[in-house]
Amino acid sequence: MNENKAYTIRMVVAESDIDAMGHVNNVVYLRYVQEAAAAHWQAVATEAAKAAMLWVVLRHEIDYLAPAFAGEVLYATTWVGETTGVKSVRFVEIANATGKTIAKARTVWCMLDAATLKPKRIEPEMMEPFM
């Protein structure tokens, strides 16, 4: 893990996250990834950046390594990778309470101008708090 100012959130698996096989549904992991990214942005970005910019997902890649079950405590750790032009790569690792990694994700995000909803170049100084 490249811990460029990594940020971790704690979550508890809800009964509603469980699928017919008795473990967390694959789609729910995607929600966890997005929740971790949003929490990181909210915790670190300036108020001006939050007002001026929005993020949209261009691509998700998820590796499912082990199951998680209802009531289990999970930790989603996220950090920002390569950022060029209007795109930024974000990584998320989800681990259980023993520290075992159960899922890994790589997501490509595009920054939008909040007023125009058009892609906007990501300036290096905006990313400094994340790197």
pLDDT in tens, the chain (131 residues): 445 689 999 999 999 999 999 999 999 999 999 999 999 999 999 999 999 999 999 999 999 999 999 999 999 999 999 999 999 999 999 999 999 999 999 999 999 999 999 999 998 888 787 87
Would 32 be classed as within a structural domain? yes
* φ, ψ (nearest 5 deg) of residue 107: -125, 135
Query: What Cα–Cα distance (Å) separates residue 57 from each residue in 31, 62, 99, 116?
Result: 12, 14, 27, 17
Would 58 be classed as within a structural domain? yes
Domains identified in the chain, total number: 1
CA distance 72 to 29: 14
Asked whether the whole model's pTM tops 0.75, one would answer yes
Would 110 be classed as within a structural domain? yes
CATH number of the domain where residue 58 is located: 3.10.129.10
